[in-house]
Amino acid sequence: MSAPAPAPEPALGFLHGGSFSQLATLADPAVRLWRPREIYLPDATEADFAELTTLIVSDRLHLGLLPRVTAWVNGVAERGGTVVVLGENGDCSWVPGLAGLTPAEVDFWWWRLPDGDNGVRRAAEDHEAWRHLTPRAVRWHYHGLLTPPPGATVLAYTDRETEGDPATEQVLLYEDRVSTPGRLLVTTMDPVYHHGSRFMPGATQLLLGLLRWTGVKS
């Protein structure tokens, strides 16, 4: 009897548009450690997304080009993989299960508030995410408020924007294992831009924490 074929090695993809911050991020040795498959948005083909187990959708992609690849992006999750969707990328109406994204005022200088508190709160404190993400990784600015689908796990929210249930109306980061056979991690924070720009230490902690959590070194 012949031996079963070995399972394919986990593969991490990184969808980017070639901006200075995205290229600087991809060149960082701390990111190269995960050996991401670089997928350049203008030239992307369906084959680029084949066999990926994790896909990072970089923040600040070209909104005119992004719709061409969203079906392939979602295909990673439909095959049971993980898709990490970073903001700011328009209304993200193509993300399965996402019920809405409400714009929010961006406060780049939140640390100058008298109490140094921008209202960002962690949720689901016993979730595995917090073994990889530091408190500061989610404690900086954001670009909108998410309405995740029922059954998703809220990981970070703010209590400074609107009245109502923060678990459904003020969400900044959530994990969705109900809308696809795989997993969706969605946030309105833009860590690739700020890591590549060397501005906002919490952004670097979020980006590298997400890689530790979802990436597999090959």
DSSP-assigned letters across all residues of 147-191: EPPTT-EEEEEESSS-SS-HHHHSEEEEEESSSSSSEEEEES--H
Q: What is the pLDDT of residue 31?
A: 96
Whole-model pTM?
0.91
* pLDDT at 81 (0 to 100): 97
Q: How many of the other CB atoms lie within 10 Å of CB of 87?
A: 23
Give residue 213's pLDDT. Answer: 95
What pLDDT was estimated at residue 218?
Answer: 38
**pLDDT at residue 167, as a whole number:** 47
Residue with tokens 């979020």: 206
- Work out the end-to-end distance of the chain between its first and last CA atoms, rounded to an integer number of angstroms: 29
Amino acid at 139: R
pLDDT at site 134: 93
pLDDT averaged over consecutive 10-residue blocks of the chain (218 residues)?
57 97 97 96 97 97 97 98 96 96 84 76 95 93 93 91 58 97 97 94 94 75
pLDDT at 122: 93
Q: What pLDDT sits at residue 53?
A: 96
Predicted pLDDT at 169? 62
Question: pLDDT value at position 106?
Answer: 86
Fold annotation for 12-214:
Rossmann fold (3.40.50)
pLDDT at 217: 46
Q: List, in order, residues 6 or more apart from 16 with CB less than 8 Å away.
A: 22, 23, 26, 38, 39, 40, 41, 58, 61, 192
What is d(CA 115, CA 135) in angstroms, rounded to the nearest whole number?
A: 17
Domain map (residue ranges) of the chain: 12-214
